[in-house]
Structure formats: structure tokens, C-alpha cells
Amino acid sequence: MPFSSLGLSSPLLKAIASRHYSAPTPVQTAAIPVILKGGDVRACAQTGSGKTAAFVLPILQQWTNGRRQTPRRVHALILVPTRELAAQIGESIRHYSSHLAEPIKTICVFGGVSINPQMMRLRGGADIVVATPGRLLDLVEHNALRLSEVSTLVLDEADRLLDLGFADELARVLALLPKQRQNLLFSATFPAAVQTLAENLLNNPERIEIEAAPETTPNIQQRAIETDVPRRTQLLRHLIQSQGWTRVLVFVATKYSTEHVSDKLRKLGIRAAPFHGELSQSARTMALEDFKESLIHVLVATDLAARGIDIASLPVVVNYDLPRSASDYVHRIGRTGRAGESGIAVSFITAENHAHFALIEKRNGMTVPRETIAGFEPEVVDTRVQPPNGGIKGKRKSKKDKLREAAALAANKL
């Protein structure tokens, strides 16, 4: 089905053509006609599915067809969990609106930066506001904007909004909106809290279930490599060099680890940089630009900071530390294999985290075969599973044992 059959106006089709998209993605095909008709949407769609255009394009068209007001009143409010995602959606809106007859004013607001410039930009109103909930409420309290005429509300990455503890802020924002409005909810996963939110928010929504779970997504190859905690950096270097990876997003658990791991990689001759929420906005923008231009080959990030990074071609994601939850795993590996490209998602499995990974597999209904890489095999014996003749806790495997295991593994594979 071509874009022209979705009911979009020619200025929007022109903007799409300049992006050289050959056809709408499934979420776009399903959502755009419904949104144009004013219906609510409940879409299960991951980053990479083309979901941004699925709501931005019809919102732009509705705005073009609507009544103009001076000062501008917020027509559409897009709530997002992070500033990166806000900035990326803002960028998409700017692009898709580039051929509209009248300029549309879009403002992106998020915390972690000074509020004053955002207040200045909101003078004279705005047509579309893309916001993280906390900063949006601050701005409302400062009388910098009013939400009483919002006709379309989008919750993007609703699962992350709740994961990041925005439930209270969300409730306060919803109370400021007019009762009559269109609601569009996009989420990669639908745990109970998101389902409840969807039930309370949406009015007879069109249910769109585009996302194939990543485990069934053929273009993401998942690998689980067993090793020991202290060998992970060397293993990472080995993989980067032996596989010729030049653009790798590495996930670690803490801000400290982003610095620590990227330092160690740099010492090993790999161009790596940390990426976390406490870097200044300009440092983050610079790191992303360097990564996109391949001046940096490895970005070492926390979940929070990496959320919403939209890099068109991200071939490899590495879980150096495992994510906390099964849904975070889905989000992380969804950074790769986007828009039809293939991707690799590697998880490092250690004696300390293997039970946690098994739980992630169970929750996501998937199984990732364990593998080892010669020279980086785990030396620590899994203390939970004792060999029949009374293994000694923490005993290191002998070379013979390892060879026997490798032979058994190879035999099983044949």
C-alpha cells in the first residue's frame, strides 16, 4: 500500500518523499487513517517501527485543517519519557511539516536544562508541545502555557513513562486537559500498569498490535555469551575487533560504569565514549554526533540516557550489564534491527546474573542459546548447580573439565 492511499495531504506526501521511504510501515498503515478520522489508538509498537510518523503525520494534517487561533493554543500534546525522545520527535515534526503552507510552531520542553529559554519560546503560544511530564507541569505552574484546548494527546513510550515513575505527574497533566479529546497511546510493552492506563484513558480505541516480540523478529540475532565479570571488557574488545563492529551501543547499569568501561576500552585502543544523564546536553549531543559520524565506535550508556536515541543504522547492541526488567531488555535490543535492517543483540551472562537472564527469557517467552568464546570462557563455577559428586563451591574448572564440556557441547550441536 502506498503512502498516497492513507488520506494524507500533498505537502505531507512531499515531505515523506524527501525521506525516500518506499512504503508506510505496518503501524503507519494501521494508525494514520484512524487518527485522521479522530479515533483513539492503542498501539503496541516499538521504537524502530515508524511510530513517530504514525502519529505526527495525521496530527499535522488535523492542525492544517483546523481553526487557527492567536495567540496559538496547544493543539497537540505529546508526552514522552526523556529529553532525547522529545528532541527527536521535535526534529521529525520539523521535517514532516516542512512543506506545509503555514509554519507550525512546535516547542519541545524537558527537565535538566534551564526553564527560562523554554518559557521565552512559549511566548505567543505553541501549536504542538512535546514534553516530559515534570517540566510540563512546571511550565503550567509558571503560566507559560495552557492545556485547556488540547485536541490530541499522545503518550509515547507509555511503558517507559510509568517505569520512570511519571504516573503521578501524568495524572496531574491529564486533569488539566479538556475531557473531549483524541488520545493516542503508544507503548512497546503492555504490563498491567500500562493496560490500566490505557483502559482509563482511551475511548473505544483502535487496537494495533504491530510489534512482533523481538525474540520472533527475524532481523535481530540474539546472542548470550557466557563469561566472567572481570573478562567482559576484554571480551567486548575481542568481539569489536574480530567482528569488525564500528557502531556499538553498550549498556551498563550505572553512570559510573559508563565512564569506567569507556575508559578501559579507550585504554585498549577502542574509540569509546560514555553517555549518561548527568552529562550536559551539549556533551550528549556531541557524543551522539561523533557516534553517528563514526568518530566514536562505541557508546557506553545507561538505559535512561540511551532511551530514545534514534540512530538510523545501529547494527550492534551489547548488554554488558543485564537490564533490570524483561521490558527493558525488549527496549534495549529494539535499538538495533530497525526499519528492516538486521541487528545483533549480545548479552554477557555471568555466574552472578545467569538466573536473572533466565527470568528475562521466561518473561519474554524466548530462549537464547548460551555460547562461549574461546579464551573468555567463565572460570567461576555456577555455585547453584553442583556436580553430582559434590562440587566444591567456587572451584575453578580445570582445563580438562573445560575440554570435556566443549566436546559434550559440540556433540549436542551435531
Sign of CA dihedral 225, 226, 229, 231: negative
What residues contact residue 236 under an 8 Å CB cut-off, 6+ apart?
250, 261, 265, 318, 320, 348
* Torsion over CA: 19, 20, 24, 26 (sign): negative
**Least distance in angstroms from the C-beta of 235 to ligand AMP:** 30
User: Does 310 participate in binding ligand AMP (rule CB under 6 A)?
Assistant: yes
CA dist., res. 392 & res. 41, Å (int): 57
* Positions of E strands within 144-302: 152-155, 182-187, 206-209, 220-226, 248-251, 272-275, 298-301
Between 313 and 367, CB nearer to ligand AMP: 313
| CA-wise closest residue to 347 among 319, 376, 327 | 319
Cis ω before 11 (30° cut-off from 0): no
Site for ligand AMP in 208-267 (CB under 6 A): none
Minimum distance, C-beta of residue 52 to ligand AMP, in the bound complex (Å): 3
CB 57 within 8 A of CB 32: yes
Q: Provide the minimum distance between the beta carbon of 291 and ligand AMP in the complex, in angstroms, as a whole number.
A: 15
> 36 vs 349, which CB is nearer to ligand AMP?
36
Beta bridge partners of 299: 249, 273
Q: Which of 26, 50, 134, 214 binds ligand AMP (CB under 6 A)?
A: 50
CB atoms under 10 Å from CB of 302, counted, come to 21
The DSSP symbol for 72 reads B
The residue among 210 and 349 lying less far from ligand AMP, judged by its C-beta, is 210
To ligand AMP, the closest distance from the beta carbon of 125 in angstroms equals 26
Answer yes or no whether residue 24 interacts with ligand AMP by CB under 6 A: yes
* Comparison of 83 and 338: residue with beta carbon closer to ligand AMP: 338
For the bound state, the minimum distance from the C-beta of residue 388 to ligand AMP, rounded and expressed in Å, comes to 50
Check residue 26 for interaction with ligand AMP (CB under 6 A): no
Structural Rg of the chain based on CA atoms: 23
- DSSP letters for 75-135: -EEEE-SSHHHHHHHHHHHHHHTTT-SS---EEEE-SSS-SHHHHHHTTTB-SEEEE-HHH
Verify binding: residue 339, ligand AMP, rule CB under 6 A: yes
The verdict on 47 binding ligand AMP (CB under 6 A) reads yes
Binding residue for ligand AMP, selected from 6, 12, 15, 25, defined by CB under 6 A? 25
In the complex, the smallest distance separating the C-beta of residue 44 from ligand AMP, rounded to whole angstroms, is 13
Q: Which is nearer to ligand AMP, 80 or 236 (CB)?
A: 80
Among candidate residues 337, 318, 344, 305, the one with its CA nearest the CA of residue 237: 318
- For the chain, what is the largest distance between any 2 Cα atoms, rounded to a whole number of angstroms? 81
Tell the residue number behind the cell numbers 524466548, with chain if given.
366
Q: Which stretch binds ligand AMP (CB under 6 A): 4-12, 19-27, 29-37, 180-188?
A: 19-27
Q: Which amino acid is at 188?
A: A
List the one residue from 312, 410, 411, 414 that touches ligand AMP (CB under 6 A): 312
57 vs 351, which CB is nearer to ligand AMP?
57
Q: Which amino acid is at 110?
A: F
Closest listed residue to residue 299, CA positions, set 317, 272, 260, 263: 272
Q: Which of 11, 26, 48, 337 binds ligand AMP (CB under 6 A)?
A: 48
Q: Identify which of residues 47 and 257 has a Cβ nearer to ligand AMP in the complex.
A: 47
Count of residues that interact with ligand AMP, criterion CB under 6 A = 15
CB of residue 157 to ligand AMP, shortest distance in Å: 10
* Candidate segments 21-29, 100-108, 118-126, 406-414, binder of ligand AMP by CB under 6 A: 21-29
- Least Cβ distance, residue 184 to ligand AMP (angstroms): 13
Shortest Å, Cβ 280 to ligand AMP: 24
Closest distance to ligand AMP from the beta carbon of 53 (Å): 5
Q: How far apart are CA 201 and CA 161, in angstroms?
A: 14
Q: Exactly one of 49, 182, 183, 350 binds ligand AMP (CB under 6 A); which one?
A: 49
Polymer length of the chain: 414
Tell me phi and psi for residue 182, to 5 degrees.
Answer: -95, 140
Candidates 29, 52, 118, 152; binder of ligand AMP (CB under 6 A) is 52
Q: Applying CB under 6 A, does 21 fall inside the site for ligand AMP? A: yes
| Minimum distance, C-beta of residue 207 to ligand AMP, in the bound complex (Å) | 18
Q: Is 51 in the site for ligand AMP (CB under 6 A)?
A: yes
The residues that touch ligand AMP, with contacts defined as CB under 6 A, are: 21, 24-25, 28, 47-53, 310, 312, 338-339
